[in-house]
Homo-oligomer: A and B are copies of this chain.
Amino acid sequence: MSRLPEYLRALHALADAGHETVSSEGLASAVGVNSAKLRKDLSHLGSYGTRGVGYDVALLIDQIESVLGLTQCRAVALVGVGNLGHALAGYDGFASRGFQIAALLDADPSRVGEEIHGLVVRHVDELPRVVAEESISIGVIATPAPAAQAVADQLVAVGVTSILNFAPCVLSVPDGVDVRKVDLAIELQILSFHEHRKASLIALPATGGSALTALPGGLATPDTQEAIGT
């Protein structure tokens, strides 16, 4: 499940705070989900809770990390050292959670050779050698949209089967390759939608707004962390 990483983060916070055990209720409220859902999620990876007590924090961390394949430090290659790539290269949230940016690559010759946060930018054509040398398991694409597909093809060609794509475009990849997409502008647009809707509802409280602003049903956007009580 995609919620496991969130549980893991909350568990690390709890461990740092000195807790040895957590109840499903406590962990659920820390993550902002239903406790039954959390229990069901955890039960899917083999019951590791003690009834009447809760879950052993350290044990659960080990289990989740094992499931997520975080027992080994994974090496990622970052392609595209522009604005965003530059920041990602220096983002310490990766290293602290078991990911090591092992290589920086770019297609722009003027950027090759530049040193960023202790790593030298290499040309994207060196990808095959880099992937082999550093045993890359994940590729991150932070190039402009027009270049993303070509980079993805290169990554796939050298055996990378997991890609995190920051470019605002859809990548087509063969079966067996996982692509996750992060589009920062889309997130803003979703917020804009909600903002627009709220404004319309206030302006037209009786009629409920036009057919455009008052979409039927729940206009639910997944992943929206909204209004967590207490």
Q: Choose among B10, B30, B93, B196 the residue that contacts A69 (Cβ–Cβ < 8 A).
A: B196
Q: Quick check: A2 and B190 within 8 Å, CB to CB?
A: yes
Q: Which residues of B contact A219 (CB under 8 A)?
A: 1
Q: Quick check: A184 and B88 within 8 Å, CB to CB?
A: yes
Q: Choose among B86, B175, B184 the residue that contacts A94 (Cβ–Cβ < 8 A).
A: B184
Q: Judge whether A191 is part of the interface by a CB distance below 8 angstroms.
A: yes
**Per-position contact with B for A68-82: 1 when CB-CB < 8 Å, else 0?**
111000101000000
Number of A residues, CB within 8 Å of B: 93
Tell me the smallest distance from the CB of A31 to a CB of chain B, in Å. 6
Copy tally for this chain in the complex stands at 2
Q: Which residues of B contact A30 (CB under 8 A)?
A: 170
Q: Judge whether A194 is part of the interface by a CB distance below 8 angstroms.
A: yes
Q: Judge whether A67 is part of the interface by a CB distance below 8 angstroms.
A: yes
Tell me the smallest distance from the CB of A17 to a CB of chain B, in Å. 13
Tell me the smallest distance from the CB of A16 to a CB of chain B, in Å. 11
A interface residues, Cβ below 8 angstroms from B: 1-2, 4-6, 8-10, 13, 30-32, 44-46, 63, 66-70, 74, 76, 83-84, 86-88, 90-94, 96-99, 137-138, 140, 161-165, 168-199, 211-213, 215-216, 219, 221-230
